[in-house]
Amino acid sequence: MTRIVVIDPQPAVRAGLAMMLRTEPGLVPVGVAVGAKDGLELVERQRPDVVLLDAGDLALARRLRALEHAPRVVLYSAVDDPALNVTARVAGADGLVSKEADAELLYAALRAVGRGGTALPALDRSQLDAVAHRVDPEDLALLAMLVDRTEPADVAATLRLNPRKLARRIERLLARLKPARPLGV
């Protein structure tokens, strides 16, 4: 069984996802939250396998992945932004699903991520090009390692950064990659 927490600012989306997940064998919703504060508290309390997170809160994805008992994270987005596939990787997400996708695709992504895999679409050159011009030259190596899903300890060692400085650089990178319009809505 895959235990799931849903974090989304829209009440109807939270309720609908929880109801859908309850009907799907092997997927168990263990709670819903509105945003970062209550989401982090719920995740600490419930220790889900996977968090289904509105893609509008990429910073929360990083915070979730940094927890001691870190859940895996699937981003759920209503916006088709070519840069999101790259940004999801920078944020440490394990999956990315469009809110327009059918339920079976969402269920498959949650199962794959719950088993330790990923559900990230393949990257193409246009997606990388869409974000590269927004990145400071000194952060291109960081971007490349995060896109390749290099472990944070290895990134820090390669770039000769302590964990705190690495976290700040990643936050800065995410801020630069943040799309002009909200992703989750």
User: Can you tell me the mean pLDDT for 25-49?
Assistant: 97
pLDDT of residue 7 exceeding 50, the answer is yes
Residue-by-residue DSSP string for the chain: -EEEEEE-S-HHHHHHHHHHHHTSTTEEEEEEESSHHHHHHHHHHH--SEEEEETT-HHHHHHHHTSTTPPEEEEEESS--TTHHHHHHHTT-SEEEETTS-HHHHHHHHHHHHTT--BPPPP-HHHHHHHHTTS-GGGHHHHHHHHTT--HHHHHHHHT--HHHHHHHHHHHHHHH--SS-S--
* β partners of residue 53: 7, 75
What are the pLDDT digits (tens) for 30-41? 999 999 999 999
pLDDT at 181 over 60: no
What range defines the domain where residue 117 resides? 1-185
**Torsion angle of C-alpha atoms 170, 176, 185, 23, degrees rounded to 10:** -20
Domain count, the chain: 1
pLDDT the model gives residue 129: 86
| 82 has a pLDDT exceeding 90 | no
Check whether 182 has a pLDDT greater than 80: no
Residue 173 to residues 6, 30, 58, 143, 183, Cα–Cα distance (Å): 26, 32, 11, 8, 17
Q: What is the CATH number of the domain that holds 180?
A: 3.40.50.2300
